[in-house]
């Protein structure tokens, strides 16, 4: 277990009154990208017609029994390994409670002996967040409330249940209370999501519910060693909600303490519209889940060789990728460009271009500035088109301005960059011709040229603009600037 005391951020968040700090841990549920469900052969598929991916097992019909999906177990263990956790012998438990989205009226989950324990994750900032556990469990069905005015549970006239999601494999990743600010929470979820996507565990779609986050938040005066009462916040459907909810909740708790009140241990709901958290239930009302070992499943006893095989099969993780890109472009630590370039959605494009031998700086620039702005990249835009484009720019067959235009059009029309270039009639000036053009501009604007030579450096922009205008954008801005500099020093 990580000692949270050694992991405090150097400074408390600025939105809290002086002397207070946040103690936050996150519980992240991720749906696993398996072919079939956790305990039966039904398809694990988002968006199917309601109640079509169902069978006696995931409907909890009398007499049906669960059988563990080996693919899900493998992915769950990969998550543990990617989070530096110990993959250990474990068992399943039943968590008993009545709710109509839970066909058996118990959830098969892991309790005191999870598959993965004691890991950690290092944020881009270098802060280390402990991972207490990452365990397997089954998802519930999905209830839609109909009728009534609010569209919410209260006042609804009836409820429809779709059991397609029932039995979909989940891994719940529980962090230590090492997160000291809303921004660290955002970084943590971002990094975790990138890891899950990198190892093929999840598609990371928060909007489809395949990544769901609950936050445990408490506050305390800086210097106090004991944890104070925490509240669990649910319904955090986006990174934005996560940041806003933790901010609100920490401020609320400080206000309660400042007014000499007591924070109650509660489950609270983030109300996005009103931008507040609302109490759902207090600890006294919490259910007794009557956990006991699931008798219908056998204990999991992963062997060393099985774990070793999974470890070897792990791909490059975001952190390694970040360090590698920094190294390639000659940076000591990651900047925003690097962070963008390692987005899971851009992995394939960046790797393809690097493998094609394109200058890493150019790859990172085009990926983080242009390609990232075009997310989500539509299916049909081929990996090598991006490397082709970068290569054309590197070989100065396109100016940077042209490259940006071609990239945009190439993604939009799902067309190879060479074809786009021809279609747009783009040709690149060769250097001799560009020099001739620049010289004629200098002659035509002799006044400005004299002033520039006298030290009015802001006139550089004027000349670049004139060059671009005259060449119809075919000139490479950087080359033009260099030639301008040569002319200046020559005279």
Partner 1 sequence: MGKSASEIAELVASGRRSAVEFAEEALDAIERSNGILNAFLSVNRDLTLEAAGRIDAMVAAGEKVGRLAGVPVALKDNMCQIGFDTTCASKILNGWSPPYSATVVQKMIAEGAVTVGKTNLDEFAMGSSTENSAFGPTRNPIDLERVPGGSSGGSAAAVAASIVPLALGSDTGGSIRQPASLTGVVGVKPTYGVVSRYGLVAFASSLDQIGPFSRTVGDSALALEVISGWDNMDSTSYDGAKFSLVSQQGVPMDGVRIGIVKEFMDGCDEEVLAAVRAAAEQLSKAGAKVDEVSIPETKLGLSAYYIIAPAEASSNLARFDGVRFGLRVEGSDIAETNVKTRTAGFGDEVKRRIMLGTYALSSGYYDAYYGKAQQVKTMIKRGFERAYRDFDALISPVSPTTAFRFGERASNPLAMYLSDVCTIPSNLAGHPAMSVPFSADSSGLPIGIQVLAPALGEELMFRIAFSIERSSGGGGFGSLDPALEEVMTGGR
Binding site for partner 1 (CB under 8 A): 56, 59-68, 94, 96, 98, 100, 103-106, 159, 161, 288, 290-292, 295-298
Rounded to whole angstroms, the Cα distance separating 414 from 345 reads: 17
Of 108 and 176, which has the nearer Cβ to partner 1?
Answer: 108
Residue 291: CB minimum distance to partner 1, A? 8
**Least separation, in Å, of the C-beta of 37 and partner 1?**
14
Contacts of 181 by beta carbon, 8 Å cutoff, 6+ apart: 9, 12, 13, 22, 24, 246
Nearer to partner 1, 9 or 51 (CB): 51
Report, in Å, the least distance between residue 244 CB and partner 1: 32
- Closest-CA residue to 318 (of 437, 160, 199): 199
Min dist CB 61 to partner 1, Å, is: 7
Closest distance of CB 88 from partner 1, Å: 20
CA 279 to centroid of chain Cα atoms: 28
Q: Which is nearer to partner 1, 288 or 379 (CB)?
A: 288
Measure Cα distances from 375 to 117, 208, 378, 393 in Å. Answer: 35, 17, 8, 21
Closest CB to partner 1 among 286 and 424? 286
Q: Select 67 or 264, whichever has its Cβ closest to partner 1.
A: 67
Residue 389 is inside which H or E element, if any? helix 383-394
Q: Smallest distance, Å, CB 67 to partner 1? A: 5
> What minimum distance in Å lies between the beta carbon of 387 and partner 1?
46
- Crossing angle of helices 182-198 and 239-258, in 10° steps, is 150
Q: Which is nearer to partner 1, 19 or 56 (CB)?
A: 56
Alpha carbon 64 to chain centroid, angstroms: 37
The whole-angstrom separation of Cα 389 and Cα 374 is 15
Q: Which is nearer to partner 1, 66 or 360 (CB)?
A: 66
CA distance 208 to 205: 5
Q: Which DSSP symbol is given to 429? A: P
Strands (E), 211-323: 211-221, 231-236, 266-271, 276-282, 292-293
Q: How far, in Å, CA of 197 to CA of 85, rounded?
A: 18
């Amino acid at each position: 277990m990580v000692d949270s005391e050694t992991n405090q951020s150097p400074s408390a968040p600025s939105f809290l009154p002086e002397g207070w700090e946040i103690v936050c841990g996150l519980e992240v549920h991720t749906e696993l990208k398996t072919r079939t469900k956790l305990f039966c052969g039904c398809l694990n598929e988002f968006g199917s017609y309601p109640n079509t991916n169902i069978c006696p097992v995931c409907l909890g019909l009398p007499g049906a029994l669960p059988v563990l999906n080996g693919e899900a177990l493998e992915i769950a263990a990969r998550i543990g390994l990617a989070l530096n956790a110990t993959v250990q012998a474990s068992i399943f438990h039943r968590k008993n409670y009545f709710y109509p989205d839970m066909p058996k009226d118990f959830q098969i989950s892991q309790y005191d002996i999870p598959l993965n324990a004691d890991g950690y994750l290092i944020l881009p900032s270098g802060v280390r967040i402990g991972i207490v556990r990452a365990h397997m469990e089954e998802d519930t069905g999905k209830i839609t409330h109909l009728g009534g005015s609010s569209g919410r549970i209260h006042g609804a006239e009836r409820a429809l249940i779709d059991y397609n999601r029932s039995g979909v494999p989940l891994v719940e990743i529980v962090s230590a209370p090492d997160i000291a600010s809303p921004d660290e929470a955002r970084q943590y979820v971002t990094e975790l999501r990138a890891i899950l996507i990198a190892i093929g565990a999840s598609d990371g779609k928060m909007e489809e519910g395949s990544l769901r986050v609950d936050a445990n938040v408490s506050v305390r005066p800086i210097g106090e060693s004991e944890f104070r009462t925490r509240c669990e916040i649910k319904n955090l459907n986006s990174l934005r909600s996560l940041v806003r909810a933790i901010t609100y909740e920490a401020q609320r708790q400080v206000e309660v303490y400042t007014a000499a009140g007591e924070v109650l241990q509660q489950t609270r709901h983030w109300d996005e519209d009103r931008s507040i958290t609302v109490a759902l239930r207090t600890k006294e009302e919490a259910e007794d889940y009557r956990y006991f070992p699931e008798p219908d499943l056998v204990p999991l006893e992963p062997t060393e060789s099985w774990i070793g095989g999974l470890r070897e099969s792990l791909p490059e993780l975001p952190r390694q990728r970040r360090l590698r890109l920094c190294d390639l472009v000659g940076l000591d630590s990651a900047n925003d460009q690097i962070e963008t370039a390692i987005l899971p959605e851009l992995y394939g494009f960046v790797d393809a271009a690097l493998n094609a031998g394109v200058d890493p700086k150019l790859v990172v620039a085009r990926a983080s500035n242009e390609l990232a702005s075009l997310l989500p990249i539509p299916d049909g835009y081929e990996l090598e088109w991006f490397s082709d484009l970068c290569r054309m720019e590197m070989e100065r067959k396109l100016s940077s301005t042209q490259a940006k235009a071609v990239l945009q059009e190439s993604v939009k029309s799902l067309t190879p960059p060479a074809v786009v270039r021809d279609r747009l009639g783009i040709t690149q000036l060769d250097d001799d011709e560009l020099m001739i053009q620049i010289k004629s501009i200098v002659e035509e604007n002799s006044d400005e040229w004299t002033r520039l030579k006298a030290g009015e450096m802001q006139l550089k922009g004027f000349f670049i603009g004139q060059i671009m205008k005259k060449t119809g954008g075919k000139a490479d801005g950087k080359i033009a600037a260099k030639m301008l500099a040569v002319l200046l020093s020559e005279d």
